[in-house]
């Protein structure tokens, strides 16, 4: 059965990477959520997609996440384009998400946003937090920065890792195995049924992103993908049912 991961929660209908979005994904019955992490000036891990704060917050601030303290970040409104519907939404810390996760059984795909900013110690801190909360069996770590994934594997022999990529990759299952990772999270237009099947034959999970079109959802479910990552988990779950 193909699992459904809510992209940044339920980003099609709720402010992305906020608790209200994650709770909506849980409410509609998603198998998991996907979220993105950055690190503040004072070393706190926060859940926000962009390296800068402008796009997804109230727009009053324009700088880099790394240049703000957690207290400053917490004063920003992450309601984004849904402000009129949901009011003020905080940027959550990863720890807040993990604390909430104790109340459910959701899988959590944590994406390291380390492509532009090299956050010192983010891999170690995240893995320690996963361990502290006893969540290792429910976590998939992914990143476009494959150096981060290699570092995570050096730190943990058991954590589930998946490579993110946007362009076509030759025999991605072989590359995933070479990095000692467990899965691939490809941009959906870069894969076909053969890649899905060959990857799964090689025990590499396939979770394409971000699939919002119902016809595409059905196609990738029919391909037998391990999961699909979508902004509309409710819509995807209705197709599976």
Q: pLDDT tens digits for 195-224?
A: 999 999 999 999 999 999 999 999 999 999
Q: What is the set of active-site residues?
A: 7, 49
Rounded to whole angstroms, how far apart are CA atoms 41 and 119?
10
Question: Measured between alpha carbons, how far is residue 183 from residues 69, 159, 202, 218 in Å?
Answer: 34, 11, 10, 21
Residue numbers in the chain where pLDDT is lower than 50 = none
Biggest distance spanned by C-alpha atoms of the chain: 50
Rounded to whole angstroms, how far apart are CA atoms 233 and 212?
9
Helix residue spans in 94-166 (DSSP H):
94-101, 122-132, 146-155
Say what the pLDDT of residue 150 is: 98
The pTM of the full predicted model, rounded to 2 decimals, is 0.97
Look at the block and give the residue holding tokens 């979770």: 207
Contact between 123 and 155 under an 8 Å Cβ cutoff? The reply is: yes
Contact between 69 and 40 under an 8 Å Cβ cutoff? The reply is: yes
Burial class (CB in 10 A: 0-12, 13-18, 19+), 81: exposed
Listed in sequence order, the residues at least 6 apart from 151 whose beta carbon sits closer than 8 Å to its beta carbon are 123
Strand boundaries in the chain, DSSP class E:
3-7, 32-39, 45-47, 107-112, 139-143, 160-165, 183-186, 205-206, 227-230
Say what the pLDDT of residue 61 is: 78
Say what the pLDDT of residue 230 is: 98
Say what the pLDDT of residue 187 is: 98
Say what the pLDDT of residue 58 is: 79
Say what the pLDDT of residue 39 is: 98
């Amino acid at each position: 059965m193909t699992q459904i991961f809510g992209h940044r929660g339920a980003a099609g209908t709720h402010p992305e990477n906020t608790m209200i979005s994650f709770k909506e994904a849980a409410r509609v019955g998603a198998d998991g959520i996907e979220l993105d992490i950055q690190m503040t000036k004072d070393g706190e891990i926060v859940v926000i997609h962009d390296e800068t704060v402008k796009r997804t917050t109230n727009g009053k601030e324009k700088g880099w996440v790394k240049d703000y303290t957690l207290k400053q970040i917490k004063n920003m409104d992450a309601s984004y384009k849904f402000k009129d519907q949901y009011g003020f939404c905080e940027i959550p810390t990863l720890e807040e998400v993990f604390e909430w996760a104790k109340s459910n059984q959701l899988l959590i795909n944590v994406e390291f946003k380390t492509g532009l900013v090299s956050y010192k110690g983010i891999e170690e801190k995240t893995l320690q937090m996963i361990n502290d909360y006893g969540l290792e069996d429910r976590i998939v770590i992914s990143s476009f920065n494959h150096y981060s994934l290699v570092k995570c594997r050096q730190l943990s022999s058991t954590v589930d890792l998946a490579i993110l990529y946007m362009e076509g990759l030759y025999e991605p299952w072989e590359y995933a195995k070479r990095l000692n990772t467990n899965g691939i999270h490809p941009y959906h237009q870069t894969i076909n049924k053969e890649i899905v099947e060959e990857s799964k034959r090689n025990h590499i999970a396939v979770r394409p992103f971000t699939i919002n079109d119902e016809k595409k959802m059905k196609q990738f479910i029919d391909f037998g993908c391990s999961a699909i990552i979508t902004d509309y988990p409710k819509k995807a779950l209705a197709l599976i049912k």
